[in-house]
Protein backbone atom coordinates (compact mmCIF):
# COMPACT_ATOMS: atom_id res chain seq x y z
CA UNK A 1 0.00 0.00 0.00
CA UNK A 2 1.52 3.23 -1.16
CA UNK A 3 0.99 6.56 0.57
CA UNK A 4 -1.64 7.66 -1.93
CA UNK A 5 -3.61 4.46 -1.54
CA UNK A 6 -3.46 4.58 2.22
CA UNK A 7 -4.60 8.19 2.25
CA UNK A 8 -7.49 7.36 -0.06
CA UNK A 9 -8.58 4.44 2.09
CA UNK A 10 -8.35 6.50 5.26
CA UNK A 11 -10.62 9.13 3.72
CA UNK A 12 -13.19 6.52 2.75
CA UNK A 13 -13.07 5.03 6.25
CA UNK A 14 -13.50 8.38 7.97
CA UNK A 15 -16.38 9.42 5.77
CA UNK A 16 -19.86 8.80 7.10
CA UNK A 17 -21.15 8.35 3.57
CA UNK A 18 -20.15 7.23 0.10
CA UNK A 19 -17.76 9.62 -1.60
CA UNK A 20 -17.26 10.36 -5.25
CA UNK A 21 -13.77 10.89 -6.65
CA UNK A 22 -14.23 14.65 -6.46
CA UNK A 23 -15.08 14.44 -2.75
CA UNK A 24 -12.01 12.32 -2.09
CA UNK A 25 -9.91 14.86 -3.94
CA UNK A 26 -11.22 17.71 -1.82
CA UNK A 27 -10.05 15.89 1.28
CA UNK A 28 -6.77 14.47 0.05
CA UNK A 29 -5.18 17.85 -0.55
CA UNK A 30 -1.80 18.04 -2.23
CA UNK A 31 -0.97 14.44 -1.36
CA UNK A 32 -1.39 13.35 -4.94
CA UNK A 33 -2.83 13.95 -8.32
CA UNK A 34 -6.43 13.49 -9.38
CA UNK A 35 -5.48 10.61 -11.64
CA UNK A 36 -3.78 8.88 -8.75
CA UNK A 37 -6.98 9.13 -6.76
CA UNK A 38 -8.90 7.44 -9.56
CA UNK A 39 -6.27 4.77 -9.80
CA UNK A 40 -6.19 4.30 -6.03
CA UNK A 41 -9.96 3.89 -5.91
CA UNK A 42 -9.71 1.21 -8.57
CA UNK A 43 -6.97 -0.50 -6.66
CA UNK A 44 -8.93 -0.46 -3.41
CA UNK A 45 -12.02 -1.86 -5.04
CA UNK A 46 -10.12 -4.55 -6.90
CA UNK A 47 -8.51 -5.63 -3.66
CA UNK A 48 -11.75 -5.84 -1.72
CA UNK A 49 -11.08 -2.80 0.45
CA UNK A 50 -13.70 -0.59 -1.17
CA UNK A 51 -17.11 -0.89 -2.75
CA UNK A 52 -18.64 1.35 -5.35
CA UNK A 53 -21.87 2.09 -7.08
CA UNK A 54 -22.86 4.53 -9.77
CA UNK A 55 -25.66 6.93 -8.97
CA UNK A 56 -27.28 9.53 -11.12
CA UNK A 57 -28.98 12.49 -9.52
CA UNK A 58 -30.32 15.53 -11.30
CA UNK A 59 -28.20 17.92 -9.28
CA UNK A 60 -24.83 16.18 -9.39
CA UNK A 61 -25.09 14.13 -12.54
CA UNK A 62 -23.66 10.66 -12.86
CA UNK A 63 -20.89 9.81 -10.47
CA UNK A 64 -19.31 6.74 -8.97
CA UNK A 65 -19.42 6.60 -5.18
CA UNK A 66 -17.01 4.67 -3.03
CA UNK A 67 -17.16 3.32 0.51
CA UNK A 68 -14.67 1.44 2.61
CA UNK A 69 -15.64 -2.17 3.15
CA UNK A 70 -16.05 -3.18 6.80
CA UNK A 71 -13.79 -5.82 8.19
CA UNK A 72 -15.74 -9.05 8.04
CA UNK A 73 -17.39 -10.29 11.21
CA UNK A 74 -19.66 -13.28 11.86
CA UNK A 75 -22.70 -13.10 9.66
CA UNK A 76 -21.79 -9.79 8.14
CA UNK A 77 -20.95 -9.35 4.50
CA UNK A 78 -18.91 -6.22 5.09
CA UNK A 79 -20.76 -4.16 2.56
CA UNK A 80 -23.60 -1.83 3.30
CA UNK A 81 -26.46 -0.41 1.33
CA UNK A 82 -27.40 3.23 1.21
CA UNK A 83 -30.29 5.56 0.89
CA UNK A 84 -29.81 8.80 -1.00
CA UNK A 85 -32.08 11.75 -0.27
CA UNK A 86 -33.20 13.48 -3.45
CA UNK A 87 -33.67 16.69 -1.54
CA UNK A 88 -30.62 17.21 0.67
CA UNK A 89 -28.42 14.77 -1.25
CA UNK A 90 -27.12 13.14 1.90
CA UNK A 91 -26.64 9.40 2.23
CA UNK A 92 -28.13 7.33 5.01
CA UNK A 93 -26.48 4.07 5.99
CA UNK A 94 -29.04 1.25 5.91
CA UNK A 95 -26.63 -1.20 7.43
CA UNK A 96 -25.17 -4.50 6.39
CA UNK A 97 -26.46 -6.21 3.26
CA UNK A 98 -29.68 -8.16 3.74
CA UNK A 99 -29.84 -9.91 0.42
CA UNK A 100 -28.17 -13.21 1.20
CA UNK A 101 -31.35 -15.26 1.06
CA UNK A 102 -32.55 -13.53 -2.07
CA UNK A 103 -29.22 -14.07 -3.80
CA UNK A 104 -29.11 -17.73 -2.81
CA UNK A 105 -32.60 -18.16 -4.23
CA UNK A 106 -31.65 -16.61 -7.54
CA UNK A 107 -28.51 -18.70 -7.76
CA UNK A 108 -30.45 -21.89 -7.19
CA UNK A 109 -33.32 -20.97 -9.48
CA UNK A 110 -31.18 -19.92 -12.43
CA UNK A 111 -27.96 -21.84 -11.86
CA UNK A 112 -25.98 -18.66 -11.85
CA UNK A 113 -23.07 -17.56 -9.71
CA UNK A 114 -23.70 -14.12 -8.31
CA UNK A 115 -20.39 -12.43 -7.67
CA UNK A 116 -21.66 -8.99 -6.76
CA UNK A 117 -24.70 -6.83 -6.65
CA UNK A 118 -25.54 -3.16 -6.58
CA UNK A 119 -28.40 -1.90 -4.45
CA UNK A 120 -29.29 1.55 -3.32
CA UNK A 121 -32.43 3.48 -2.54
CA UNK A 122 -33.51 7.03 -3.23
CA UNK A 123 -36.30 9.15 -1.82
CA UNK A 124 -36.86 11.67 0.95
CA UNK A 125 -35.09 11.47 4.27
CA UNK A 126 -36.69 12.04 7.67
CA UNK A 127 -35.35 15.58 8.01
CA UNK A 128 -36.49 16.68 4.57
CA UNK A 129 -39.90 15.11 5.12
CA UNK A 130 -40.55 17.34 8.14
CA UNK A 131 -39.35 20.48 6.43
CA UNK A 132 -41.87 19.74 3.73
CA UNK A 133 -39.65 21.29 1.16
Question: At a CB cut-off of 8 Å and minimum separation 6, what does 128 contact?
Answer: 85, 87, 88
Q: Tell the smallest beta-carbon distance from residue 43 to its own copies (Å).
A: 15
126 binds, among DNA, Mn ion, its own copies, none (CB under 5 to 8 A by kind): its own copies
Question: At a CB cut-off of 8 Å and minimum separation 6, what does 112 contact?
Answer: 106
> By the criterion CB under 5 A, which residues form the site for Mn ion?
57, 89
> By the criterion CB under 8 A, which residues form the site for its own copies?
53-56, 62, 64, 83, 85-86, 92, 94, 98, 102-103, 106, 110-126, 129
Give the sign of the dihedral formed by CA 22, CA 23, CA 26, CA 27: negative
> Nearer Cβ to DNA, position 4 or 128?
4
Contact call for residues 84 and 121 (beta carbons, < 8 A): yes
- Asked if 67 touches DNA (CB under 7 A), the answer is no
> Nearer Cβ to DNA, position 15 or 103?
15
Helix or strand or coil: residue 5?
helix
Amino acid sequence: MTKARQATLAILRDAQEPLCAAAVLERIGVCCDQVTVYRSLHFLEENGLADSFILHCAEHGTERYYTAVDSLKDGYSGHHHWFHCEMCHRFLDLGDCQLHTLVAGYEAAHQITVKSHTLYFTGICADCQIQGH
